[in-house]
Chains A and B, each alone.
With several copies, the nearest count.
Chain A
């Protein structure tokens, strides 16, 4: 599964995207954020306040309780500022 990061989420984690093999038991966007936070300081910093993080599955906005099984691309980003 491809995970992409934008804006300060990307800056904190230090990379724009990565391929991730999901362990069993990670079913929702919120689960994935919690699991990512455990991967290191940079992830913990990026997801320290998960309520402000927005997510998209396959380029459509989703809520934290959305299921991620079968998703090809999940993105995390701060609230959009517009152009």
Chain B
């Protein structure tokens, strides 16, 4: 049920969400969070952001947090995609999709994962 991917390329949030729910009748709520590189990410105008990461460690750590989320909330699917490398303003950085029977679980898990990804995941701006 869980997908974790780190990639240089852009992702397609809609097709990831579609894949998560395909052929299922038990999902009542899907939360999709997209994190976007802002023009003024650092307070000043930004030309591009370069996101460095610790490849194998980042994947393992994110997967561990996805497992924690799956234990904490009754999820029916989770997808996390994080880009690295050079990212331009307006481009997507990170995607979290959570699926559950009920909205509260999907929201809580998406927020939990994003809090981790935005503060403690092995990435450096």
Against A, the Cβ 8 Å flags (1 = close, 0 = not) of B64-103 are: 0000000000000000001110000000011000000000
**Which of A29-37, A38-46, A63-71, A75-83 touches B?**
A75-83
Contact B94 A83 (CB under 8 A): yes
| Known contacts A6-B52, A7-B52, A83 near B60 by CB under 8 Å | no
Bound Cα distance from A56 to B56, whole angstroms:
12
A51, CB-defined interface residue at 8 Å: no
* B interface list, Cβ under 8 A from A: 35, 51-54, 56-57, 60, 82-84, 93-94, 116-125
* A interface list, Cβ under 8 A from B: 4, 6-8, 10, 56, 59-60, 75, 77-78, 80-83
Main secondary structure of the interface of B (DSSP, over half): mixed
Chain A residues within 8 Å of B119, by CB = 80, 82
Bound Cα distance from A75 to B118, whole angstroms:
21
9 further A-B pairs in the complex, CB-CB below 8 A; given A82-B118, A83-B123: A6-B52, A59-B56, A75-B57, A78-B124, A80-B123, A80-B124, A82-B119, A83-B51, A83-B118
The 8 Å CB contact of B57, one of A7, A10, A59, A81, is A59
Contact A7 B60 (CB under 8 A): no
14 A-B pairs with CB atoms under 8 Å apart are A7-B52, A7-B124, A59-B54, A59-B57, A77-B122, A80-B121, A81-B124, A82-B116, A82-B120, A82-B121, A82-B123, A83-B35, A83-B83, A83-B118
